[in-house]
Chains A and B, each alone.
Chain A
Amino acid sequence: MPSIQAEGDKHHAERRAEAHGDHHEDSHDHGSVRSYMTGFVLSVVLTAIPFAVVMGGGFESRLLTAAVVVGLAVVQILVHMVYFLHMNTRSDEGWTMMALIFTVVILVIVLAGSLWVMYHMNTNMMPQMDHEALGLGS
């Protein structure tokens, strides 16, 4: 396929010229070795800490352990978004960021709503609760 290959090369050369022309404001950011390695090292650290904490038995307070594990996960998700998925407010005129924000809003509603509603259903509507309320024991 020499002609297709040549076409590909030509296209690439054009794109490279474009990228150099407008000072790397290419909407498709492919990152660099440096950015990928930064993301990788951060991810390894952010994965190793929660695993070490939990495998080592955790802190005295289970709530603190859970908070640390979840907090580090949130940071790691942000690291992946920035360094691996190249999220920014510029690509596709900001529409990828808009789609992400919309998804996060729905996601929070689905997760928080389900957990909240089902928790209250469980605690308020389980049959044994009637017995406890009547003082008959469960």
Chain B
Amino acid sequence: MSTVSPQAPGDFWEVEPHHHHEGASTSIGFWVYLMSDCLMFAILFATFGVLGGSYAAGPGPKDLFDLELVALNTAFLLLSSITYGLAMLAMVKNNKGGTLGWLAVTLVFGLAFLAVELYEFSHLIHLGAGPQRSAFLSSFFALVGTHGLHVAFGCLWLVTLMIQVGQRGLIPANRRRLSCLSMFWHFLDVIWIGVFTFVYLLGMI
């Protein structure tokens, strides 16, 4: 009845999945994650933009912010960006000691940033300018706190990778992880540019 000769499925469909070498799509996938994270920050920035002027008869930016402290923090984060870049360059040269050394320096700058930020937060709360004081302060703590939380998790990730690299060396999996953290770290610096510009500098004008 039927003249169609039965074909083996392999002739018609591609049964075998496309072969990509392991981790080939990691960088694009991680980039998409960073873009979604960027949208979350966009919403926090929009919230701050809307509520940033609602002081509820409480203190405003000029009463609270210390630009010298913010400049110090900006310097820490910028320096940590360049030292992470140097760690990546050491990784490309297959220099394990150099990579670990620069990662350690990056970690020190990251922790210094967190220390200054925690000092600033505790100082504000001590002044009675905590997140519950006004809509301005709620949105301020939400935005700057979320960025600080990202830096804290970045530091945790950095420690994990230093242990990984120390134990297993610069194997392909660790190179891939270091590249991801590199994107994450530089991305946080980009977000910080937005924070110090829109929250601190524009608030002090």
Contacts and interface: CB of A to CB of B under 8 A. Distances in A.
A131 B179 CA distance: 60
Contacts of A84: 81, 85, 186, 189
Interface in A6-27: 7-9, 11-12
Given A81-B190, A110-B42, A111-B45, A4 B168 contact: yes
7 contacts: A8-B169, A40-B78, A51-B67, A70-B198, A81-B190, A92-B31, A99-B28
The 10 closest A-B pairs by CB, nearest first: A114-B46, A73-B197, A36-B85, A84-B186, A103-B35, A118-B50, A8-B171, A107-B42, A92-B28, A40-B82
Contacts of B78: 40, 43-44, 47
Q: Is the interface of A mostly helix, strand, loop or mixed?
A: helix
Interface of A: 1, 4-5, 7-9, 11-12, 28, 30-33, 36-37, 39-40, 43-44, 47, 50-51, 54-55, 58, 62, 65-66, 69-70, 73, 76-77, 80-81, 84-85, 91-92, 95-96, 99-100, 102-103, 106-107, 110-111, 114-115, 118
Contact of B74 (A31, A47, A95, A110): A47
Nearest to A87: B31
Interface string B144-172: 00000000000000000000000111111
A106 B42 contact: yes
Given A8-B170, A28-B179, A84-B186, 16 more contacts: A4-B168, A4-B169, A8-B175, A9-B94, A31-B85, A31-B89, A40-B85, A47-B74, A51-B74, A58-B205, A70-B197, A73-B194, A84-B85, A85-B190, A95-B28, A96-B27
